[in-house]
Amino acid sequence: MKIGIVASEAIPFSKTGGLADVTGALFKEYTTLGEETFLFLPYYKATRELIKDLREEGKLKIKIGDENKEGRILSKEFNKNCKVIFIEQDEYFDRDKLYGTGDGDYIDNAERFGFFDRAVIEAAKILNLELDILHLNDWQTGLIPIFIKETGLKPKTLFTIHNLAYQGNFPSTKLEELGIDRQYFKVDGLEFYGSMSFIKSGIVYSDYISTVSPTYAREILTEEYGERLDGILRVKKNRLKGIINGIDYEVWNPETDPRIWKNYSLNSIEGKSENKARLGQELLLEIGRAPLLGFVGRLATQKGVDILIEALTKLLLEQDIKVVVLGTGERKFEENLLELQRKYPQSLKAVIGFDDALAHKIYASSDFFLMPSRYEPCGLGQLISMKYGTLPIARETGGLKDTVDNFNEFTQFGNGFLFYDYSADALLESIKKALGIYNNKEIFGMMRGIAMSCDFSWRRSARKYIELFKTMIEET
């Protein structure tokens, strides 16, 4: 099978978030599973600094507005069946950031990714790739299914939604500038409350849609999680799949992780306590025998930071626990957490910032990992923490529901703790249940064992995508 992955970012070439991890990992895995794979990416400034000596495969001239924008198709072959194709257009992509600055998104993002989407199709034509599948990712690639219709190319398209909240909606005047026929600007097309929507185009015109967990795939069909796209998603629900993300066990493995103080496995779990003690020293937090609760993530409403702060405020008053929080995001949450730290300096440490090494240490040192997300397409924190024997306490939504098995008092089985209501009280109750288990060394040890033995590798996810591609091809 010949697969083209199209994305606005992929590790190791470009990254702003989880999307890059997914696309980079799938590129590697499809190839390892023997599929001929091409990865299409913009050639950003950061990418240029990272990777040079590319081969020029062709030139591009694409009409955007009144201008013909020129660009180049560059490529790098990694081995016989795996090639990265970069779209070079310096006016659009040779910038410091991928999508915008602190002041907001770049104002020409519609033109930038409209150009990119056309360029991908041009490149596939010029290089005569004869792709069977185009695996498109997020709104930046949403126009591709329309452009395919206009060419003689026949790849089947899968449009994967990594987070429905990011939609790529622009004024309808962009249609003409991007050379999109007005026939597509309709309620069951890419029209979205008077705007044109890249994500809606991807949803409507691709053959299949997927998102990054089965539960999120069901949730986005409802008004509560649908981000105003639930109606159109319900129309396509028979072609909507949920495939859970994986994590890279070469990076996230307590047995080999060079960023933690003491490597450990299930058979040498004592090593985990050493990490806990060292983290306490590093953060000037006296932990002792108290249970340690960790949080690593964006300080955003999506992540449930409001109920987290409310729950901690109550909990710290009444229980001897230790908490370490690492994150950046909304100013008010940062301030609330620092305030909580001032109030309970013996119990809580809030580190405001992005710090990959510290994140590894928190995963390794904590007893429990907090993920009270309001919604969670997949979530990586719970997968990482389980591998490190740190039991997640998470809200029963999206990928959290699909990967965390709530502790069952009767069977005494589970790899974490789940709560359903989006409220500080429900979270608090779940934390208290977890703290109860912490005191029962036998059950706590057993749960750790289950968590550490779970397999959330990329190989599993990639196999599921390939099965889906086969179904898509057979449906012709």
Residues lying near ligand ADP in the complex (CB under 6 A): 17-18, 296-298, 326-328, 354-356, 359, 378-381, 384
Q: How far is the CB of 252 from ligand ADP (least distance, A)?
A: 8
SS3 338: helix
Q: Are 208 and 159 in contact (CB under 8 A)?
A: yes
From first CA to last CA, the distance across the chain in angstroms is 15
- Which amino acid is it at 402? D
For residues 212 and 321, which CB has a smaller minimum distance to ligand ADP in the complex? Answer: 212
Q: Hey, which residues does 324 pair with through a beta bridge?
A: 294, 349
- Comparing CB distances to ligand ADP, the nearer of 77 and 356 is 356
Smallest gap from residue 101 Cβ to ligand ADP (A): 19
Determine which helix (DSSP H) or strand (DSSP E) holds 325, and give its type and residue range: strand 322-327
Beta strand 195-197 with 191-192 is: antiparallel
Q: Which residue's CB is nearer to ligand ADP, number 351 or number 427?
A: 351
Report the half-sphere exposure of 327 (CA within 13 A, side-chain side).
27
Decide whether 62 or 217 has the Cβ nearer to ligand ADP: 217
Q: How far is the CB of 375 from ligand ADP (least distance, A)?
A: 10
- Which is closer to ligand ADP, CB of 121 or CB of 380? 380
| Least distance between ligand ADP and beta carbon 225 (Å) | 14
**Between β-strands 191-192 and 133-137, what pairing exists: parallel, antiparallel or unpaired?**
unpaired
Compare residues 74 and 451 and give the one whose CB is closer to ligand ADP. 451
CB of 371 to ligand ADP, least distance (A): 7
Minimum distance from residue 247 beta carbon to ligand ADP (Å)? 8
CB of 123 or CB of 350, closer to ligand ADP: 350
Q: How many Cα neighbours within 13 Å face the side chain of 164?
A: 29
DSSP string, 100-140: EETTEE-TTHHHHHHHHHHHHHHHHHHTT---SEEEEESGG
Quick check: 314 and 424 in contact, CB under 8 A? Answer: yes
Nearest-approach distance from CB 38 to ligand ADP, in angstroms: 25
Output the CA angle 435-436-437, nearest 5 degrees: 90
Q: Which residues contact 314 (CB under 8 A, 6 or more apart)?
A: 424, 428
User: What residue type is assigned to position 372 of the chain?
Assistant: P
Q: Cα separation of 309 and 337, whole Å?
A: 7
Nearer to ligand ADP, 234 or 332 (CB): 332
Evaluated on CA atoms 192, 138, 93, 104, the torsion sign reads positive
Residue 132 or 138: which CB sits closer to ligand ADP? 138
SS3 396: coil
In the complex, the smallest distance separating the C-beta of residue 307 from ligand ADP, rounded to whole angstroms, is 17
DSSP conformation class of 54: P
Cβ proximity to ligand ADP: between 263 and 328 the closer is 328
Residue 376 Cβ vs ligand ADP, minimum distance, rounded to whole Å: 7
Q: Are 387 and 252 in contact (CB under 8 A)?
A: yes
* Least CB distance to ligand ADP at residue 431 (A): 19
Let me know if 229 is exposed, middle or buried by CB neighbors in 10 A (0-12, 13-18, 19+): buried
Encoding tokens for residue 165? 């909240």
Q: Could you tell me which residues are beta bridge partners of residue 329? A: 299
Q: Which residue's CB is nearer to ligand ADP, number 104 or number 353?
A: 353
> Smallest gap, in angstroms, from Cβ of residue 382 to ligand ADP?
8
149 vs 153: CA distance, rounded Å: 8
| Minimal CB distance residue for ligand ADP | 18
